[in-house]
Structure 1
């Protein structure tokens, strides 16, 4: 017979082994789940859906009837060889200045075409590009401003050959992030206005995890953190893209271009704290307009008249090109970032 003392010694050992095996199994599942989720996250982030152009004829009609101008199909070749497509409208009564409008992720130029009206009515020429890997533009992956900021530089040079005046940038969401990053490396811009921008790629991913999980930022910055880190490693290894370089906060800190930041208090997609951080990083040349009750990219829906007036006044009051010191891509590690909870 097995003595009681022997049973006491066997049971704890067996129990401990089961506990240890369970912990190892749980950790293995967690790591495997994080890696699989990371690959999925990286792929859907870099390979976005191409939303087709559907309203060209309608926009062409508006350009002709309201502004007596043709809707021109134009293109440039990006530094990576991608063919980038855009529409260009120069009103019959022109003030010589131009505005480039940038759309959000998985959208195309039609998503911001409606903003073109307020600029065209005030004499600005309007350029509506499809970002790389969006709409009708070529490009294998979207890089959230890392490569696109150089595309903006090319578009700005293209515009200067056709309109002698200032070049301005306007964008929303991802387009806002691209405009901010471009402002640090594009010479001779006069001003920028952006709505619902994010401060850094890491921070906006944290917000997405927080929103979709319903568990708050603590979940994104702890339990879900390995998924993001594995996704970043995967993106660098497979596509040679470091998504942490998508850092508008560092860009605005290095830029000298006057920048109007617009953000709604009801924005759950990219919370207001991002624009607060951006304003603090670019405090010498930026202004933040907080729109009460506005959702993501929805400031115009709260008060269109005020929305248009503020942007147009911002552009009108900044009519001199700015010479930036930075001409190359910004390293996010070299610029300040304000972390706001």
Structure 2
């Protein structure tokens, strides 16, 4: 009778090696999937991003598109702190004013899409407006997406550039959507945030990049966050200079002094509404919250345009006028 002897040491080494290979391969897969610049086919036909016919019609056929195309924007450029050439579009107000609105856009978007909001600020509220392409998007350089974290410093640098252009008495409002909303919140608590920033509007933000990916990994792939998300975060730190856990909007709003208006659709399944409620709860400055019934991700403006406009107008009148 033969006796099979198991070499537990070799077996453990084999299992550890396999586990390590899975983490490395998985990390590169998810980095390529979400962080590296390029098309993201996995978002096509994603049920969590489905919007109403009313919203789609506004996005594709709204009069804001013709308005954007008719404007004579001044294209501005900025070299980021890590050497990327960034691009953005400035439009002066019809009448001289010291008010300026800056509009960071969402993931996979580009600057001029924020004309959806910029038209109202420019035509009705009388603001100078500026719409930047985030790093990795549009005409800006970069081979990765920052999900708001490196972008927060770009936003601060854009703000300083524009204040130098318009004058020290400029009063600035930030209005960001989705990733752009996370960007403005991530900038909100920075010590170097220009004093000219008087108000922040965050539409459909997430509290941290780790928290967002944790939710999406479970929802889209039925996978737990640990350890694969942590190893992807490490790879992102190496290749893009930031980790998912440090990219936290919540940590910033806990120390901000700038008033913040949060907006979120109550039916958002891509970035859950509870994330904005958590941010609202932990914000240290004056804060307001607008929740829009039946609105999915990023469609609050389309479904409740009058309420949306009235809310931001009152908020801005309180803190920017």
TM-score of the superposition, structure 1-length normalised? 0.77
SS at match of 1:244: coil
Query: 1:90 touches 1:124 (CA, 8 Å); kept in 2?
Result: yes
Q: 1:200 — aligned with what?
A: 208
Give deviations 1:263-312, integer Å, cap 9, x for gaps: 11111111011111111220542222221111001101221111111112
Give deviations 1:78-132, integer Å, cap 9, x for gaps: 1122111111111222432010001111111132221111101210111010011
Q: 2:166 — aligned with what?
A: 162
Q: Determine the C-alpha separation between the residues in 2 that align with 1:285 and 1:246.
A: 23
Residue 40 (1) aligns with residue 43 (2): no
Q: 2:48 — aligned with what?
A: none
Q: Residues 44-123 of structure 1: matches in 2 within 5 Å?
A: 44-49=33-38, 62=67, 70-121=72-123, 122-123=125-126
SS at match of 1:225: coil
Q: 1:323 — aligned with what?
A: none
Q: 1:278 — aligned with what?
A: 279
Give deviations 1:13-54, integer Å, cap 9, x for gaps: 76x969999999777655533331112212343322279xxx
The structure with the larger Rg is 1
SS at match of 1:245: coil
Q: Determine the C-alpha separation between the residues in 1 that align with 2:119 and 2:284.
A: 30
Structure 1 unaligned spans of 5+: 3-9, 321-341
Query: 1:145 touches 1:178 (CA, 8 Å); kept in 2?
Result: yes
Q: 2:130 — aligned with what?
A: 127
Q: 2:309 — aligned with what?
A: 308
SS at match of 1:102: coil
Structure 2 unaligned spans of 5+: 41-59
Query: 1:50 touches 1:134 (CA, 8 Å); kept in 2?
Result: no
Root mean square deviation, CA, Å: 2.9
Q: Residues 199-218 of structure 1: matches in 2 within 5 Å?
A: 199-213=207-221, 215=222
Q: 2:198 — aligned with what?
A: 190
Residue 138 (1) aligns with residue 147 (2): no
CA 1:303–1:228: 2 relative to 1, 3 Å: same
Give deviations 1:306-330, integer Å, cap 9, x for gaps: 111111211111027xxxxxxxxxx
Query: 2:264 touches 2:291 (CA, 8 Å); kept in 1?
Result: yes
Query: 1:195 touches 1:261 (CA, 8 Å); kept in 2?
Result: yes
The count of corresponding residues between Structure 1 and Structure 2 is 294
